[in-house]
Structure 1
């Protein structure tokens, strides 16, 4: 069973978006001396959007097929701790981290490359 996070929702989302933003800046910073500013920020943006898209798609799948997965798991006598709520939380985290990463890559691109 997963304990519910009792902190305000906005603080939790801000933490994950901020972590994703920091990750996006780190990736762009590591790539900067290797590939140059435009390719570094483009690559960081692409990775952030990939993570964001994966998070949204899998979150939607979990919402749509979560009950079916729970039923199949209970029918087969699975021993895992998978739950619909836990999967939704995990993929929501991926979505918010991807959003922060993408936003940071866009900001870094504007600063380093320009409009």
Structure 2
């Protein structure tokens, strides 16, 4: 890939990591009055890690079994708009959102609770 090809990819990744970070900060901030700083940041981190893990696992499954799914879809004559590239992109988005979410929860934990 050339440098020109990486710029849109980098912006896309940064956008989804930022979305995840906003979700992580908002969730932790909403939970602080209810359960306290430590539990709020721990919960936000756990949910972010869950989203990240789901994204990685399903992205890997799409890469590994995407050809089989496409063959089954062709064989059955399905009318769905599912594509391998679309599925990979969707689960990559979940992965990057989970990264931002978890990172924001860690940052808030350090800021609110300390090391």
In angstroms, what is the RMSD of aligned CA positions?
1.1
Which residues of structure 2 form unaligned runs of 5+?
Answer: 1-6
Per the TM alignment, residue 39 of structure 1 is displaced from its structure 2 partner at its CA by 0.1
State yes or no: 1:70 paired with 2:81. Answer: no
Which residues of structure 1 form unaligned runs of 5+?
Answer: 1-6
Work out the CA distance in 2 between the residues paired with 1:25 and 1:55: 20
| TM-score for the superposition, normalised by structure 2 | 0.94
C-alpha distance after superposition, 1:77-100 (max 9, x if no partner):
111000000000000000000000
> Residue 52 of structure 2: SS of its match in structure 1?
helix
| TM-score for the superposition, normalised by structure 1 | 0.94
Q: Map 1:1-115; keep pairs closer than 5 Å.
A: 8-115=8-115
Structure ranking higher in helix proportion? 2
- Segments of 4+ in structure 1 off by > 4 A? none
